[in-house]
Amino acid sequence: MSVPKAQERIRRITSRQNSLLQAMRRAFHKAELTIEGGCAVEGVRLIEEAIRSGLKLHAVLFSASGLRHADKLLPQLPAKTETVEIADDVFGGVVDTETPQGVAALVHLKTFSLDDLFTGAAPLVVVAAGIQDPGNLGTVVRSAEAFGASGVVMTEGTVSRFNQKVIRASAGSMFRLPTVTAKAGEVMARLREKRVVLVGAASHKGNSLEKVDMTRPTAIFIGNEGAGLPKQFLDSLDERVSIPHSQKVESLNAGIAASVFLYEAARQRRVRA
């Protein structure tokens, strides 16, 4: 059977010890960047989101059964992007997805500093302070982009933003929205320096959300799913805020709470504009 012309550029790798496979395996399983700065992603949709977001792809990896996606993806890739094929069982050992689609990539994410989060006259920053569930953190990033936040900063105890589940839950927002990992002390010092109002979620205590003015430069603090905000943040808040909801429900999860905060901030800013 002849190889489709678009697939002629794909190089086959048979060794499990290949340096590219080892780098991608570490990136997936340790939720960290490769030495070259590549972030591992899996699945056609995420790879297309990375391309659409203008990111550079270092390499694209197909399993033997995943070659069915090649004709769709290859025309979207620059000629210099490395493309390789490996056996299905080898591919399964590289990625950490339970039901992989058979295509993965190393993507170079944009790098940002804390200063990049303070854009415009009234920046809106989300501080993820100890969020451990990757689905929640991905939802926070996705909602932050959807509702016009200037960025998300993750402090100690927060799941890695390079975690595959975080990236999937962000649905591509991680590729575009400024995200930064920083120490709590540095974050607090910069927020105070920028004269940002600090608001944080409290379950049934504090001012009602709709009464809090978030048209000002604002940082929204979202804490750990079980323990809430660490004391160092809680004691520093300018306003403790509650989201009105049924007393039968103890609390909202971190992703939903952040989304409600962000929606209200966007609503207020539209009305004030």
Main-chain phi, psi angles of 47, to 5 degrees: -65, -40
Q: Which domains does the chain have, with CATH numbers?
A: 5-108 (3.30.1330.30), 114-272 (3.40.1280.10)
Residue 251 has a pLDDT of 67
pLDDT mean over 154-158: 95
Has residue 194 got a pLDDT over 70?
yes
pLDDT band with cut points at 50, 70 and 90 for residue 252: confident
Has residue 202 got a pLDDT over 80?
no
Question: When comparing pLDDT for 185 and 247, which is higher?
Answer: 185
Q: What share of the chain is helix, strand, coil (3-state, %, to 5)?
A: 40, 20, 40
**Sheet with 82-86, side-by-side order of all strands:** 11-12, 82-86, 56-63, 103-108, 38-42
What contacts 168, CB < 8 A, 6 or more positions away? 43, 46, 138
Cα–Cα distance, 258 to 273 (Å, whole number): 22
What are the residue ranges of helices labelled H in the chain? Answer: 19-30, 44-52, 70-73, 88-94, 134-146, 164-170, 184-193, 231-234, 254-272
pLDDT band with cut points at 50, 70 and 90 for residue 250: low
Length of the chain in residues, anyone? Answer: 273
Least confident of 79-83, 126-130, 202-206: 202-206
Query: Average model confidence (pLDDT) for the chain?
Result: 91
**Sheet with 151-154, side-by-side order of all strands:** 179-181, 151-154, 124-129, 218-223, 197-202, 239-242, 207-208
Query: Which of 30, 148, 35 minimizes the C-alpha distance to 94?
Result: 30
pLDDT mean over 130-136: 95
| Residue 246: how many other CB atoms lie within 10 Å | 6
pLDDT band with cut points at 50, 70 and 90 for residue 248: low
pLDDT band with cut points at 50, 70 and 90 for residue 247: low
Residue 207 has a pLDDT of 84
Residue 174 has a pLDDT of 96
Confidence (pTM): 0.91
pLDDT band with cut points at 50, 70 and 90 for residue 5: low
pLDDT mean over 10-22: 93
pLDDT mean over 159-175: 95
CA 255, 259, 260: angle at the middle one, nearest 5?
Answer: 120
- Amino acid in the structure at residue 173: S
